[in-house]
Chain A
């Protein structure tokens, strides 16, 4: 079955550049942990969160990392599940990254708790009605599946790899539907409550995950001096373009549905037309960077075939989806809740007005630290395990057709 006979090896990891990279990532991770410790020590008033905005940037980061993870995993399964054997050399690194990104997401969630020292409580006290509780189980199992999947690949258990590939894809869908449901199932807030959130989470996960993998693959192969076929990047670029279209469709439907109902005019005006930072992030970040510009680049034959342009488009998508996650998590809390229709309400709980949320430096350090930690582990993974293929080139005789 292993028709491409790819050889995997660990990278040397002795160069000065590699060491510098690892040290820098390590330091940034420490910064992240320090900020989490400060939050735990002093309380959350050192972040930008308030009683009106109880969920801030750490949750945005968590949701974002979960999404990136799904994309990587689906890429990893392309060869075993979807029969795209040309992607087989990439399966190990993408499965590794998928597991690490989800670990990062879990860390974001747990370290953002007011009491992260109560880490064991969820294991002894569960609430199956809570989407958080359910997701905890889904995430843990997902990390487990990723590692078993990796193990099976390392030991060339082809049948098991295939089976686990299917399980992983199925599980990724569950995980992302569940994450969307954390917000979508909240009936109390107009901007959260939506049955479309689970599917649009999956779609955005696929687009951002693919985009991240394009960048990571290119970077890893370049830095380790191994050959990566441009054609592989181009094919991933095509997938990316397709995912973008799906995301765009879901975003469109959701916003049209909400805007159509007169009762939602105020909310939609605030989000789309007010010219405040949320509508700027919506239009420039989420729509521009996440959907429009990258799609134009990828669909245009002049740029869509150039690796440099595809990389650029991927970077845009990675930023744009972060903006999308922000738009999902934050504006739903910023808008006042309609408790007394027909009245203007004022009170000591910042009642009845739009409350601004500013990301604090602490939270940026937190997010950047955890992201660095993910890549810190990734770099170590490449050094200590046989993750990297010698090369990833499309063997013209075998690519696409199965023997």
Chain B
């Protein structure tokens, strides 16, 4: 801990010097937020895959860095996973979506992406009558699109609205590595399981890095040396509606 503190202090000093350039109060936060990240900068682009059953993939989103206009993650996800957009908010698919939070008592707005939390206790999986929703050995909650009967009970049970139904047949198929879903089944974020299996980080995290915001950290929650674990140890993070006890694996700072 003390080591981390010293590091943050150093960074804070640096930030204070660069403060005039970067502007507003966010600098302080981002300085400390980078503390864990920079130690393991290599973990950002390539993933170390532990033996089967050992990993618990998770994500941290620092929404002090996440800006209002940026749509890098949502756009990257759409292309990567062929998530349908019909131009109609009633039917558009969303694997990751940006929301705006306005404090009821006033204060600045917050912007952050919401996605499937890959809950450790996923109610969507509990209710699925045909066991089409299942948890992979590394904790990723997935849907078998060949088995899903489209009953939509999982959409009722998920408290995060992380799932969408394919309301119409889609024609666009941007990424051939990921199969399209026919209409009539439910889909959601897979943490880019196909990329993880190749040792790559999810498309949204990559896009966020490239955009320069660097608001997302992805990694193995079971590995004490991973950037994400170090970050979580150093900075207060919180899952959405942790009170429900589903143990979400996407954490946020600053909510």
Task: Give residues in A with beta carbon < 8 Å to B.
Answer: 40, 42-45, 49-52, 54-55, 109, 112-116, 118, 121-122, 125-127, 129-133, 136, 182, 186-189, 192, 333, 337-340, 342-352
Within 8 A of A (CB), among B78-120: 86, 88-92, 94, 97-105, 110, 114
B139 CB within 8 Å of chain A: no
Most chain B CB within 10 A, of A130, A333, A342, A345, is at A130
Q: Is the CB of B168 within 8 A of A43?
A: yes
Stretch at the interface among B16-24, B33-41, B149-157, B220-228: B149-157
Structural contact, A55 and B152, CB atoms closer than 8 A:
yes
- Evaluate contact between A115 and B148: CB separation under 8 angstroms: yes
With both beta carbons as reference points, the residue of chain B lying nearest to A109 in the complex is identified as B151
A40 touches B94 (CB 8 A): no
**B147 near A51: Cβ-Cβ < 8 Å:** no
Bound-state Cα–Cα, A11 to B237, Å: 73
Q: Which residues of B contact A (CB under 8 A)?
A: 86, 88-92, 94, 97-105, 110, 114, 123, 126-132, 147-153, 155-161, 164-169, 182-186, 240-241, 244, 255
Q: Is the CB of B147 within 8 A of A125?
A: yes
Give the chain B neighbours of A109 by CB distance below 8 A: 151
Q: Is the CB of A115 within 8 A of B168?
A: no
Do the beta carbons of B241 and A115 come within 8 Å of each other? no
**B94 contacts A115, CB within 8 Å?**
no
- Residues of chain A with a CB closer than 8 A to B153's CB: 130, 132, 182
Task: Offer 12 A-B interface pairs, CB within 8 angstroms, sorted by A.
Answer: A43-B183, A45-B167, A109-B151, A114-B150, A125-B147, A127-B128, A129-B126, A130-B153, A338-B241, A344-B101, A345-B100, A351-B161
> A126: which of B102, B130, B157, B159 is its contact (CB, 8 Å)?
B130
Decide if B184 touches A347 in the complex (CB within 8 Å): no
Complex CA–CA separation, A333 to B156 (angstroms): 8
Assess whether A51 is in contact with B165, with CB atoms less than 8 Å apart: yes
**Of the residues A114, A127, A338, contact of B131 by C-beta under 8 Å:** A127
Contact B114 A44 (CB under 8 A): no
In addition to A339-B160, A349-B97, 4 A-B residue pairs with Cβ atoms within 8 Å of each other are: A115-B148, A127-B131, A189-B156, A348-B98
Most chain B C-beta atoms within 10 Å of own C-beta, residue among A43, A136, A333, A352:
A43
Residue pair B129, A133 in contact (C-beta under 8 Å): yes
Q: In the bound complex, how far is the Cα of B151 from the Cα of A361, in angstroms?
A: 21
Across the interface, B89 reaches (CB within 8 A) one of A133, A333, A348, namely: A348
Judging by beta carbons under 8 Å apart, are A114 and B165 in contact?
A: yes
* Pair A40/B110 contact, Cβ less than 8 Å: no
Known: A50-B90, A113-B184, A118-B149. A342 touches B103 (CB 8 A): yes
Known A-B contacts A115-B149, A125-B147, A188-B157; the reply to A45 vs B91 at CB < 8 A is: yes
Nearest-Cβ distance from residue A46 to partner chain B, whole angstroms? 9
Binding site secondary structure of chain A = loop
B111 to chain A, nearest CB (A): 10
8 Å CB contact of B110 from A130, A192, A339, A343: A343
A126 to B131, CA, bound (A): 6
Q: Please name the residue on chain B nearest to A40 by beta carbon.
A: B184
Q: Is the interface of B mostly helix, strand, loop or mixed?
A: loop
A339 to chain B, nearest CB (A): 6
Cα–Cα distance between A255 and B185 once the two chains are bound (Å) = 35
Q: How far is the CB of A232 from chain B (nearest CB, A)?
A: 41
Q: CB distance A340 to B130 under 8 Å?
A: no
Cβ contact within 8 Å between A349 and B161: yes
Specify which chain A residues have a CB less than 8 angstroms from the CB of B114 in the assembled complex. 339, 347
One of B88, B92, B149, B161 near A121 (C-beta < 8 A): B149
State whether B185 touches A348 (Cβ < 8 A).
Answer: no
Distance in angstroms from B33 CB to nearest chain A CB is 20
Q: A340-B240, A343-B110, A347-B114 are in contact. Are A50 and B151 (CB under 8 A)?
A: no
Query: CB-CB < 8 A to A127: which residues of B?
Result: 126, 128-131
Given A113-B151, A126-B130, answer yes or no on A42-B168 (Cβ-Cβ < 8 Å): yes
A186-B92 CB under 8 A given contacts A45-B168, A339-B241: no
Residues of A within 8 A of B147 (CB): 118, 121, 125
The 4 nearest A-B residue pairs measured at CB: A114-B150, A114-B184, A347-B99, A188-B159
A394 to B168 alpha-carbon distance, docked (Å) = 58
B132 contact set on A, CB distance < 8 A = 125
Q: Which residues of A contact B167 (CB under 8 A)?
A: 43-45, 50-51
Query: Given the complex, which residues of B lie within 8 Å of A352, measured CB to CB?
Result: 99
Report the bound CA distance from A339 to B103 in whole Å.
13
Q: How far is the CA of A281 from the CA of B244 in the complex (A)?
A: 31
Please give the distance in Å from A156's CB to the nearest CB on chain B. Answer: 39
Residue ID in chain B nearest A134 by CB atoms: B129
Measured CB to CB, the nearest residue on chain A to B99 is A347
For A346, what are the chain B residues with a Cβ–Cβ distance below 8 Å?
Answer: 99-100, 102
For A112, the chain B residues whose CB sits under 8 A away are 151
Give the complex CA separation of A40 and B157 in angstroms.
23
- Measured between beta carbons, the chain B residues less than 8 angstroms from A192 are 156
Please, which residues of chain A bring their CB within 8 A of the CB of B123? 186-188
**B165 and A54 form a contact (CB under 8 A):** yes
Looking at the complex, which one of B92, B103, B128 makes contact with A51 (CB distance below 8 Å)?
Answer: B92
Shortest distance from the beta carbon of A93 to any chain B beta carbon, whole Å? 32
Partner of B155, one of A54, A344, A347: A54
| A340 neighbours in B (Cβ, 8 Å) | 101, 240, 255
